Amino acid sequence: MKTIILILSFLTASSFAQKETLLQTYQRELAFLVAQKRSLTSQQKVIETEYGQKVRKAKADLDKSQNELVSLTKKNELLSAKVIEAERNLENVESSNSLLETTLLQGKVTLGLTEEEWAVFKTDESKISGILAGARGLLDEGGRVHHADGEFFTREGKLVRGGMIKLGRIASFGLFENQASMLMPVGLGKLKLTEADLSQTLSKFKSGEFFGELPLFLYETTSKGVEVKKDKSFMEMVEAGGSIAYVIVALGLFALVLVVIRGFLLFGAAKVDKKLISEIQSGELSNVEAKVSLRKTPFDRVVGNTLMAKNKEREARETIIHESILGELNFLDKFGAVILVMAAVAPLLGLLGTVTGMISTFDIITEFGTGDPKLLSSGISEALITTKLGLVVAIPSLLLGNLLGGWSNKIKIMLEREALRLSNRFEKEVSHA
């Protein structure tokens, strides 16, 4: 028993010693951790202080850099504006130099100066002074009428030297032997006599005895030739329109022939003896039968058929009348539909010519470009001429076709009216009998 008590005492003492040792260990660890916390706290304060200083320095540097950037941006804008202004000034100077060179060249050409004469002027100032002096001379020359000898072409194309009357620089007259007329430019500074004969007029004008109106051929310069426009004949216009123009002209002639034939036919069909109509209205049918027996006109044939049916019933007689009028429709409407068809086809042919002409024009543009308008004139002429010819054929054909159609309808109404009037006369005779 004692032994057990001793063992328990030993265990109790040993456990207490261990607890005391563990507590001391915990205390030492806690003290170490507290010391570490104080060290870390102090290090944190040091770091925060250094970081705050760096942040404040960085902000100060950033503000300084932003201010420098704004300043540099403003300087850059000012420099860009100065560069743009300098470029604009340079363009103005180049434009002024180009304009000056162009003006000097125009002055040289206008004055007709040669290279040797132009080489005398060494500077731009001297060139400007020379051009102004020459311009004053031209103005003086352009404001007066003077006589001089000069070279020009005759009507036959021969270059001769003869007398000239110059009205400034806008018109002139030439006198050579028996030829005297206005002069027109032919290019390269040369002039040629026109076809008008002004021999007597210019002789009086030269001697100061002429009073009245003087015809003038005005021109701006003699360096470019003037072509007198000649009126094209009808066949030249058709030839310029191409093959389709010939087709349209042939169609128009054919339509004209048909209109004339149809007009003569309707004129004959409309020819009615007014005395015969009055005899029908008065009832003198014996004379009517004798006159319509030959049946030369639609009126004679319709009235003759009506007289042959005078003994028939009214319905049968009216049927014969309508059949007679229907039988005359082929004669009265002859060529009417053909004329109207031609009037409709002609503008379509003109449109076809327009299309082919424009195709030809675009082919020329593809091959030669658009530099020379004369190359394009053939295709454009073909396009416009065919359209013109198509309308010239279509409008009269349509108008005459409708007029003849209206005339034909009037003849039909007249035939029906007189035939029914004669039929009514038969009906009255039967009722009186």
| Closest to 141 measured CA to CA, from 176, 118, 169 | 169
- Summarised one tens digit per residue, pLDDT across range 299-326 is 767 776 666 666 677 777 777 777 777 7
- Summarised one tens digit per residue, pLDDT across range 8-49 is 555 555 555 566 687 788 888 888 888 888 888 888 888 888
Contact between 246 and 319 under an 8 Å Cβ cutoff? The reply is no
- Within 8 A by CB and 6+ apart from 184, the residues are 191, 192, 194, 217, 219, 226, 228
CA distance 92 to 88: 6
Give the confidence band of 5 by pLDDT, cuts at 50, 70, 90.
Answer: low
- Summarised one tens digit per residue, pLDDT across range 348-370 is 998 998 888 888 888 877 777 76
- Tell me how far CA of residue 281 lies from CA of 178, 418, 431, in angstroms: 81, 9, 17
Q: State the SS3 of 62-117.
A: HHHHHHHHHHHHHHHHHHHHHHHHHHHHHHHHHHHHHHHHHHHHHHHHHHCCCHHH
Say whether pTM exceeds 0.75.
no
- Summarised one tens digit per residue, pLDDT across range 321-339 is 777 777 777 788 888 889 9
Q: State phi, psi for 309 to the nearest 5 degrees.
A: -100, 20
267-279: b or e for each residue (b if 16 or more CB lie within 10 Å)? eebbebeeebbeb
- Summarised one tens digit per residue, pLDDT across range 266-286 is 887 777 666 666 666 565 555
Contact between 269 and 297 under an 8 Å Cβ cutoff? The reply is yes
